[in-house]
């Protein structure tokens, strides 16, 4: 959204979040990232079809290149001075939930669900993702999503605070238009203060080795093989 001549209008119709993975891996440009949309006052993320983002292709998610690109993109969303709204129009799985978490506001359609099924695959998400999930949804719900691999429905996400409003894409665009008419410096300041006070940089030297240990484990290879062979995984914790 841009504001000019006293009017607020959509300025750039970017791809759905289903186009995120090819952009991350350099197979297509990503002019829709906040830092790339010159003069934007608000950004709306949504999905194409019936899903917000069903996660990454499992042939790509196992690579270091994808992980690094994903976390850099999430950082760009959170660091952008522009308010970002996720219009979650359906399932947000894995990286889809991470994208929604990186937004400042989350609006959910009745079919929206949030899930991070890393433990079913032998994978791990970074500490920032876990902290923001717990901050928004509450510690109990974060444990439910991460330790029991149970999804949160649209109704549950609204009740716990992970989502802040119900609505479809049209409602999200209307909301973005209202936000785009507000004072941009005030919004940028407020966003930065919220991020710094509630989510300071994580300085825990013990977490990064644990994260990398998961990704180097035999369980990751087992999860990949189980999906390829369409069988239940047999994790051994090594």
Residue boundaries of the structural domains of the chain: 2-191
Which of 7, 207, 21 lies closest to 98 in space, CA to CA? 21
Tell me what pLDDT residue 66 has.
79
The CA distance from 81 to 104, in Å, is: 11
- Mean pLDDT in residue range 108-120: 96
Report how far apart the first and last C-alpha atoms of the chain are (Å, whole number): 48
Domain 2-191: give its CATH superfamily: 2-enoyl-CoA Hydratase; Chain A, domain 1 (3.90.226.10)
The CA distance from 229 to 60, in Å, is: 17
The CA distance from 228 to 160, in Å, is: 36
- Mean pLDDT in residue range 9-37: 49
pLDDT tens digits, 41-79: 999 999 988 999 886 655 566 667 778 888 888 999 999
pLDDT tens digits, 179-213: 999 999 999 999 999 999 999 888 888 898 999 99
Which of 129, 94, 112, 117 lies closest to 46 in space, CA to CA? 112
Higher pLDDT, 95 or 29: 95
Q: Could you give the 3-state DSSP secondary structure of residue 43?
A: strand
Higher pLDDT, 16 or 140: 140
Is the pLDDT score of 164 beyond 90?
Answer: yes
The CA distance from 39 to 67, in Å, is: 29
Q: What percent of the chain has pLDDT over 70?
A: 80
pLDDT tens digits, 128-158: 999 999 999 999 999 999 999 999 999 999 9
Tell me what pLDDT residue 71 has.
87
Locus of tokens 């973005």 = 176
């Amino acid at each position: 959204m841009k504001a000019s001549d006293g009017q607020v209008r959509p300025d750039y119709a970017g791809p759905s979040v289903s186009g995120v993975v090819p952009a991350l891996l350099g197979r297509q440009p990503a002019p829709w990232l906040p830092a790339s949309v010159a003069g934007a006052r608000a950004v709306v993320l949504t999905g194409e079809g019936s899903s917000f983002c069903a996660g990454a292709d499992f042939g790509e998610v196992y690579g270091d290149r994808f992980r690094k690109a994903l976390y850099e993109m999430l950082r760009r969303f959170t660091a952008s001075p522009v308010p970002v709204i996720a219009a979650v129009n359906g399932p947000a799985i894995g990286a889809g939930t991470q994208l929604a978490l990186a937004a400042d506001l989350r609006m959910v359609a009745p079919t929206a669900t949030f899930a991070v099924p890393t433990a079913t695959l032998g994978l791990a998400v970074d500490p920032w993702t876990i902290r923001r999930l717990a901050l928004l949804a509450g510690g109990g719900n974060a444990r439910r999503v991460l330790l029991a691999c149970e999804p949160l429905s649209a109704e549950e996400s609204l009740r716990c605070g992970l989502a802040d409003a119900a609505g479809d894409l049209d409602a999200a665009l209307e909301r973005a238009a209202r936000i785009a008419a507000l004072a941009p410096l005030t919004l940028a300041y407020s966003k930065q203060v919220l991020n710094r006070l509630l989510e300071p940089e994580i300085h825990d030297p013990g977490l990064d080795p644990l994260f990398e240990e998961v990704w180097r484990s035999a369980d990751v290879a087992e999860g990949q093989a189980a999906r390829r062979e369409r069988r239940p995984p047999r994790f051994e914790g090594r």
